[in-house]
């Protein structure tokens, strides 16, 4: 199953929020939808879920128009909410049946997910009696009811402690392995990096980066190297390189200098220059940016 988002535009009160948003995702893969606060992630997801209607563009599933009500879609909105005064199992069964499940299957599915999230004891409790973290787990459980084919999770990890985050990670990995189509937005890059094959980075309503995460990392690291000198600090090394070596741009992180090769300069030429300067090299390796680096680079403060 391939879900395609094609040239989606959306305005509110004359202000354009989404500009030609396009990406696609296939079953058995997870796509991380990234962006700063207010970048347009939630609006895109709501438009996909038909909460808002797009001004133009289309959503296609296997080439045909996508209507979320015709598929088993598990959706966790950014704005969390369930009935505080209703019993947990009762309302989960209600949501599952509203989406077309048989009451018996709905009950079995709700009980399974409550058990999985360690909330079986609370199935007849009112939601408002649970802690915030446990309420969050019930929210996630409602998104997973009915064995959905498509799972859309808006910030699923926010509010979860490390133990519960691990449970959710396992669930997402299982879903991906089970051939489901998973889209989730998050600010926690480590989670996205851990199990997303594809990423889509959105900034001010425009897609700024989209594709396979490994390829993106490889491409962004192609002309870059990580350099550490054993007898010089990063700052000393940086000053030396700036004075003595041409055709490079220098950046650094907490551990090393990151050298970008300019004007067709090769790694061998750089290595030769370093040896000429009698710099004792501790590390001279290819550089692969972390997702966090990519995020900051693409939508950091200077882009705002």
Partner 1 sequence: MHNVMKVFCFELNSILNKKTVRVTTLIMCIVIFIVTCIPTIIAVFFPEDTDPSQNEMGLNVEDLGFTFLSDSLQSSDLVVYLGDELKVYPNEESLRKDVTDGVITTGFVIEDELSFTSILQNKDLYGISTQAMTSILQRIHRDRSFLEAGIDPNLIDRLSNQVVTAKEVVLGKDAQSNFLFTYILMLAVYMLVIMYGSFVSTSVAREKDSRTMEILITSTNPGALIVGKVFANALGGLFQLSLLLLSGVLGYFLNQTYYPDFIRDMLFNGLSWDAIATFALFTSVGYLLYLFLYASLGSLVSKVEDVGSAVTPITMLFMVAYGIAIFGMNAPTNLVVRIGSFVPFTAILAMPIRYFLTAVPILEILISMSLMVITTIFLALLSIKIYRLGSLSYGNKLSLTSAMKLIFSKDNNDL
Question: Taking the complex as a whole, how short is the minimal distance between the CB of residue 51 and partner 1, in angstroms?
Answer: 6
Distance (Å, whole) CA 260 – CA 221 = 9
Contacts of 99 (CB under 8 A, 6+ apart): 72, 73, 145, 146
Bridge-based pairing state of the strands 30-35 and 198-203:
parallel
Question: Taking the complex as a whole, how short is the minimal distance between the CB of residue 16 and partner 1, in angstroms?
Answer: 13
User: Of how many residues is the chain composed?
Assistant: 304
Verify binding: residue 15, partner 1, rule CB under 8 A.
no
Distance (Å, whole) CA 197 – CA 203 = 20
Verify binding: residue 84, partner 1, rule CB under 8 A.
yes
Distance (Å, whole) CA 132 – CA 119 = 13
Pick from 18, 73, 153, 196: which binds partner 1 (CB under 8 A)?
73
According to DSSP H, which parts of 145-227 are helical? 162-177, 189-195, 213-221
Distance (Å, whole) CA 215 – CA 169 = 23
**16 vs 97 by CB, closer to partner 1:** 97
Per-position x/- string for 224-263, each x denoting binding to partner 1 as judged by CB under 8 A, each - no binding: ----------------------------------------
Distance (Å, whole) CA 250 – CA 243 = 12
Pick from 59, 75, 287, 295: which binds partner 1 (CB under 8 A)?
75
Verify binding: residue 49, partner 1, rule CB under 8 A.
yes
Select from 77-85, 175-183, 191-199, 240-248 the region that touches partner 1 (CB under 8 A): 77-85
Q: Is the distance from CB of 207 to CB of 201 less than 8 angstroms? A: yes
- From 52, 8, 54, 17, select the one nearest 203 (Cα to Cα): 17
**183 vs 294 by CB, closer to partner 1:** 183
Residues 95-134 interacting with partner 1 (rule: CB under 8 A): 95, 97-99
Distance (Å, whole) CA 1 – CA 3 = 7
Pick from 4, 20, 55, 251: which binds partner 1 (CB under 8 A)?
55
**78 vs 197 by CB, closer to partner 1:** 78
Pick from 44, 109, 136, 142: which binds partner 1 (CB under 8 A)?
142
- From 237, 188, 222, 176, select the one nearest 31 (Cα to Cα): 176
Pick from 86, 155, 251, 269: which binds partner 1 (CB under 8 A)?
86
Number of residues that bind partner 1 (CB under 8 A): 27
Pick from 71, 83, 112, 284: which binds partner 1 (CB under 8 A)?
83
Contacts of 250 (CB under 8 A, 6+ apart): 238, 241, 242, 257, 258, 259, 260
Verify binding: residue 68, partner 1, rule CB under 8 A.
yes
**41 vs 46 by CB, closer to partner 1:** 46
**71 vs 284 by CB, closer to partner 1:** 71
> Crossing angle of helices 132-144/88-98, nearest 10°?
30
> What residues line the site for partner 1 (CB under 8 A)?
46, 49-53, 55, 68-69, 73, 75, 77, 79-86, 90, 94-95, 97-99, 142
């Amino acid at each position: 199953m391939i879900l395609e988002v094609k040239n989606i535009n959306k305005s509110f009160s004359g202000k354009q929020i989404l500009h030609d948003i396009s990406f696609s995702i296939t079953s058995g893969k997870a796509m991380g939808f990234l962006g700063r606060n207010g970048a347009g992630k939630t609006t895109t997801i709501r438009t996909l879920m038909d909460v808002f209607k797009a001004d133009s563009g289309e959503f296609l599933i296997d080439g045909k128009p996508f209507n979320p009500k015709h598929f088993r879609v598990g959706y966790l909105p950014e704005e969390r909410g369930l009935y505080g005064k209703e019993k947990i199992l009762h309302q989960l069964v209600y949501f599952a049946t509203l989406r077309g499940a048989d009451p018996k299957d709905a009950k079995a599915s709700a009980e399974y997910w409550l058990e999985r999230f360690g909330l079986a004891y609370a199935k007849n409790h009112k939601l408002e009696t649970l802690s915030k973290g446990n309420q969050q787990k019930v929210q996630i459980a409602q998104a997973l009811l009915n064995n959905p084919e498509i799972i859309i999770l808006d910030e699923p990890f926010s509010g979860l402690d490390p133990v519960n985050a691990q449970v959710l990670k396992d669930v997402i990995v299982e879903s991906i392995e089970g051939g489901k189509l998973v889209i989730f937005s998050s600010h926690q890059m480590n989670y996205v990096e851990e199990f997303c094959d594809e990423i889509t980075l959105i900034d001010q309503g425009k897609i700024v980066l989209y594709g396979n995460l490994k390829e993106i990392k490889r491409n962004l690291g192609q002309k870059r190297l990580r350099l550490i000198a054993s007898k010089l600090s990063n700052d000393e090394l940086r000053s030396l390189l700036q004075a003595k070596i041409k055709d490079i741009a220098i950046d650094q992180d907490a551990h090393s200098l990151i050298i970008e090769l300019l004007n067709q300069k090769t790694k061998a030429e750089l290595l030769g220059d370093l040896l000429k300067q009698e710099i004792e090299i501790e590390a001279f390796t290819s550089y692969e940016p972390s997702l966090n680096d990519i995020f900051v680079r693409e939508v950091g403060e200077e882009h705002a």
